[in-house]
Structure 1
Amino acid sequence: MFKTRTRPSWCDEHITAVLRLGGIEPLEAFVKLTSWRLTRCLVCDCEAHYRLEYVLDRNKLGEPVCRACFWRGWAQTTRALQGLPVSAASEEEARSHAEASGFDYLGSLTQPSLHDDPHRVRCRLCQRISATRLSDLSFGCSCQSNPRRDRQTANVSGPRRKELLKDSGLPVLRWWDQERNDSASWETVGVSGRREVGWKCPVCDLRFNRRVDEMASLPSCPACEQERRAAWQAEYRLRRHLHQRRRDETGMSNIVVSIGAWTANAKVARGAAAVIVTGRIQRTGQVVNLNAEKLQPLPLAAKTKSRDFR
């Protein structure tokens, strides 16, 4: 049993009833609304971690909690509506994609595994098991965006274990500078460590120091980052210039007055409040030019002689 400060108390019997309403049963004790706990689906026997607050939300929507069941039905409906030919995904491709995204591949949840069908994976950092589509694995596990969740799927009542960087399987491991860091640091530093250690960029070979937790969450090289920022700024300025130029040239018509036409109509052009221009239209892409042949005064009540001759 547990209770919250602002919400009602919860007991094991009540929690089990809530979970069974959503189509799953608990395999671990639920001690907090936001804690990830291992469960088993009553329909397909898929074991995965869910939070109690997530189960409550799915029950309100009348939607199955088990993501394996949900994504199977979703994929079948989508393929039927699209009417497109589908091919089976190989286990090697699925495993490679999962491992590149920081997950251990536990197997397909459909036979054969078609496009958008769910797969069972386990996060290497927090050990949370989930049923998800391969296309969603590229976003990574939620524990990487919220580090406080990285230990919620283990050690329910015992002390928290230190997650060592060397065992995390994170992409930052290939940045570790073996020459500058001693073996003791490699064996003891944790993923959330605030210690500054040496890193080596795998792209430009630059060596630099940075805190472990910063690199674990977002590996970046100072030199490469500066080059990327400069390239982005240059591209941004170019796109802004082209956009401004396109707006200037396509948002209005350009009136082109030859020397002969100007000599004949200079008095009207300079003195009239508004003019009527007669000439020939010339189009180049989205740019419209009017080659003026004759200018006539247009009487207006307003008194203005504003012109932009260039």
Structure 2
Amino acid sequence: MAAYVSSNGIEGILRHAGLRMAESPNPARGYVREDYLFTECMVCGVEAHYKPQYIMQKTQEGEQTCRACHWRAWNRGSLAVYGRQVETQHSEGGEDDPLLAYEHERNVRSAQRRAQEHDYELVVLLDDGPGDRIVVTRCINCGKQGARRLYDLGRCSCGGPRAREGVSYANTARQVAREEMPHDGSVYESGEPASLAACTSGCLEWWDSARNAPLTPDVLTRKSKRNVWWICPRCHLSFVAPVYWMTWHPSCPECTQVQQLRFSIDWEEHKRQDVADYPDLLAAWDDEANPFTVSMTDYRSYRFVCPVGHHPRQTPSSYLNDGCRHCRAARTQAEPNQVFLRQTNPELAAEWVRVIGDAEGRYTPDNVKESSRRKVVWSCLACGYEWTTTPRERGLRINNRCKNCGKVLGSFAWKYPSLAEEWDPRNPTSPWNTTPTGRLTFKPRWICARNPDHRWEMSIASRVKHSKGCPFCAERSAG
């Protein structure tokens, strides 16, 4: 069984590996070792997906988790042995050398071609000097991003693109009645206000009004990537951080560094200790393994028995720090004002078919949370394809597409059905296969719902943010 890690636990694992979350996770959802986390390296700033299992393994081996840092260090080591003369010759040219500039452009084009050959999008070419070229790529099918050597590129583990054009809106397998998202972006699909001023995570107490002036929280959204000033209420440090990060988990870099140091000290101490060194853990031990030989830093799951009688499988450090995960879940379920899948993700609720093994139909989107690990049968709204996975796995960015037609969660068609009806089926991509803010390599064509003879090109942003409709109808109305 996969080890469960809480959101707080994953933050400690990331800090110890020199990483942090690069997107807003759901604090109510824990993680298993097979989840992909979108992270940012605190050393080089490269964003990439890693599994917790991989992160813990590299940390235990003493190797850098960030592949960009790892391969750059590998390059430097290789040059120290084989290519010192080449490195010197390359550095003598200087940044303004036109020959080096031309060589860089050529290397970028070459990297783009190779990435496209393997169904990747080149995010950035990190190193194109002596040694192996290091690139950051993103799979065009599943969105998984990673750093690697250019010539290590191979097919993504997701299998590559599947039917990228998708299903036309007119041929949608199942239409679901839904309210159209506000065109001004003032409300998220869950019904929560998008404005930072309405955030309840406590981040507004950190807002540095003096340094941010004249900027105010009411002009920013909670998921904004804009860097603004914050001030720690504990140590009073003023620092810059993106809005989305602080709305999820307000934290101070200086206090975090102190916590990381304490965590490292505790971790080093745990390395010299076994489960048997902790009387409470030894009393709760219910596994066949010998507790006198199991290290406190072991990342494998073991069986415990809690005072209530639950038998969770957890890592020793997880049980010591967080207690029985079943008891934690029971406390969470007993909390008032809970929200379930129907409220948090109406689109997932619309694709819900049934829970595996639930013949009586006890579990529905109205009593199951988005973080649930129950096996659910889903039916794609666009193509009708059915498959089985858990709600929490569907919520991960890496799994947010239909495996058959490529429909993406939060698509343009789902959020703006009236606009999707005017999407020209001759467009290279279905409105189910792109998001309102997705990058397109073409300007979408539209067909007026009132008069099919009216056809025009216009960006999605113009239609959504600026509420622009058919220009021919608008011209006739103005005349």
Fold similarity call, TM over 0.5: no
TM-score, length basis structure 2: 0.30
TM-score, length basis structure 1: 0.45
Bigger Cα Rg: 1
Q: Return the structure number with greater relative CO, CA threshold 8 A, min gap 6.
A: 2
